[in-house]
Structure 1
Amino acid sequence: MNNTKVLISGASIAGPALAHWLTRYGFSVTVVERAPGPRPGGQAVDVRGPALDVAERMGILDQLRAHSTRMRGMSVVDATGAEVYRTTERTVSGGELDNPDVEILRDDLARIITGSVGGDVEFLFGDSIAGLDQDDDEVRVVFESGRARTFDLVVGADGLRSNTRRLVFGPTERFIRHLGVNMAVCTVPNFLGLDNWQVMHQMPDGDMRGAMVMSARDNTEARAYLMFGSAEPVDYDHRDVEGQKEIVAHALAGDSWVMPRLVEHARAAADFHFDSAAQILLDSWSRGRVVLLGDAGYCGSPLSGQGTSLALIGASVLAGELAAAGGDHRAAFAAYEKELRDYARANQEMAVVNLRERRAQAGQAADASLAAEVLVQTGVEEFAQVVASYAVKDY
């Protein structure tokens, strides 16, 4: 086999999943991650449809089910805290409860996937790619630590703000589509006393301003989602977490529900993460010996509900095509993109359409209860059809 020495940038979901598969097929894998260790926190994510097949083939599906969020339902409350909508059939984060999908905290999923990776994988935490140069034979990589190494292939699995994509394809601004929503996620105390439950609130005086709180870790803590709309992308420093907290606090100022208390808990959170709900649109997912995976190549945004599933599916397909092609990266990268592009694009478009319809219908609803129902149930059938429209290929 050719091109067996692979560098993966990113150690969240897509990167370790790809490392799992590549080592199975006999590749030598190094994973580099800017964070000093596995990143804590993050939202609840979903493993759905064909991604369940991938998880089963990886041998981790039972672990995922054992660590699922076990939500029992959700409520929507108004500015006074009065419940205007309640259901035990679905949640805003995970969808229908009576189905085989798995909702799991992002850090739990990352830990399980990383634990499934063979011991021969080299992890370089606290470092990142500073520059790379490729020719017909190899990719020469210089890391921020100053070390320099060569690899046969480089995979950017480093998310929406992919450093790998920036170095090889160009600035993020060339490929990003903002959806007009911004979101922060962090761990907060379970001060609402939620019992495997979610509560959602839309502030009455602004587009998409509000929050969702869900209990976590057997109700010992909670994860908070703070969101607000903006017609233009928010200008901020992606490494200045304190500055991001101030942006969120300013956008969500007001006494509606428990928003002031949530904002204060967010200020104190050690795992605060903020970004716009956005998508990545590329004409090609590869350049020479460098290829993109998951959000780095085809982010659908958190609003798609499919980012994690696409990462798992993409990792399976990319590794499978590399193995099937005997390491021939040109053939493998082309086959990987041909196999997945239509499915990835369908998920992206679904997110755009559903967001537009939710905004339009919620604005026309006669009362708060109907508006809440619209927010929760719009696009459910179409979503299920898109999720089920792909079957994982055997390699």
Structure 2
Amino acid sequence: MVRQRAGKKLARMPAEQTGGDVEILRGDLVRVLYEATMDETEYVFGDSITALEETADGVNVTFEHAAPRSFDLVIGADGLHSRVRSLAFGPERSYVKHLGLHCAIFTTPNYLALDHSGLVYGEPKRIVVYSARENTEARVLLYFASPPLSYDRVDGDRQRGIVHEAFAGARWETPRLLELMATAPDLYFDSVSTIKMDSWSRGRIALLGDAGYCPSSLSGVGTGLAVVGAYVLAGELATAGGDHATAFARYESAMRSYVDGCQKLADSASMMVPANRFLAGLMRLNMRMMPLMPWLRDLPAKMARRAASAITLPQYPTVG
């Protein structure tokens, strides 16, 4: 359901129109992956990498808290603001492409009584609320246009303050949602950005997922892209007979066009958050016309499905 500034219904869109996919909540996916690997994988929590030194046969890693260690390879899968990428490839500004938006995502009680459905509220800013966990919770996504912002990424209070300032005066359920954000257990706030690099590896260090090729939170394919990348990278390492250079090259060859297609989704998706009231008016007109133009109505879903399925996964031997 799409609503206008005063909350009046503007249009209704079926789930199939925006992709019709089945979504797995991030926390659930993390738990599944952790439980499947915890017996065979060493996990270290509450620490971070501060230095990398590559040698002829490995990488010496310095940690913020733990003692230094050496590893055969280092794979940076540490997100949009990757520390591994900064240490091995250079500063973030060399690779990040800001799409002119910021977003806040958090969980609230389902006080709007959404029944396996969602609401989109469109001003020049955009609010999306959809039900989750069998309607017991709701996910809130707040998007607003902004140049790159400077703030402490671990300062939740400052991040909430930025969101409050951006949505000050917004109508509909905005004041209530901002109030609930204060007690949300899982606030995520960041720029809407992509990461574009000419190469995802350097020596014995490689990048995976958002660290190497973030398609932005608007693309809707970031998690899938990271999981596919992990599968391909692991498979190539397993079949390369210890030749990491060959494995990294094959990984990039298999993934490059797929990544490019997924990142193009972000370029088009950013237009869904209009930067001013004129563009917001055009967006409302577009929403009204969609039911009358099936080809336009189905276009977002077709684009998403085409990008998400534009790779044939190689078959690798089982390793274990």
TM-score by length of 2: 0.90
Q: Does 1:387 align with 2:303?
A: no
Alignment partner of 1:147: what SS? coil
Q: Does 1:149 align with 2:65?
A: no
Aligned-partner Cα distance in 1 for 2:222–2:19: 17
User: Unaligned regions of 5+ residues in structure 1, if any?
Assistant: 1-74
The amino acid across from 2:119 in the alignment is V
Q: Deviations over 1:28-47 (max 9, x none)?
A: xxxxxxxxxxxxxxxxxxxx
Q: Give the alignment of 1:1-395 within 5 angstroms.
A: 75-90=1-16, 95-97=18-20, 101-117=21-37, 119-203=39-123, 206=124, 209-230=125-146, 232-356=147-271, 359=274, 363-364=281-282, 367=285, 369-370=287-288, 379-395=300-316
Q: Deviations over 1:164-192 (max 9, x none)?
A: 11111111111000111111111112111
Q: Deviations over 1:132-186 (max 9, x none)?
A: 2111111111111141111101110011011111111111111000111111111
Change (3 A) 1:365 1:289: closer
- 2:19/2:304 contact within 8 Å kept: no
Q: Deviations over 1:240-270 (max 9, x none)?
A: 1111110011001114111011111112222
The amino acid across from 1:111 in the alignment is R
- 1:76/1:372 contact within 8 Å kept: no
Superposed displacement of residue 377, structure 1: 5.5
- 1:177/1:281 contact within 8 Å kept: yes
Identity of aligned residues (%): 43
Between 329-338 and 264-273, report the one with greater CA deviation.
264-273
Change (3 A) 1:377 1:173: farther
Q: Deviations over 1:283-315 (max 9, x none)?
A: 110111110000100011112211111111101
- 1:233/1:276 contact within 8 Å kept: yes
Aligned-partner Cα distance in 1 for 2:279–2:167: 23
Change (3 A) 1:370 1:340: same
Change (3 A) 1:292 1:376: farther
Supply the RMSD in Å over aligned alpha carbons.
2.3
TM-score by length of 1: 0.73
- Equivalent pairs counted in the alignment come to 310
Alignment partner of 1:249: what SS? helix
Alignment partner of 1:246: what SS? helix
User: Unaligned regions of 5+ residues in structure 2, if any?
Assistant: none
Alignment partner of 1:214: what SS? strand
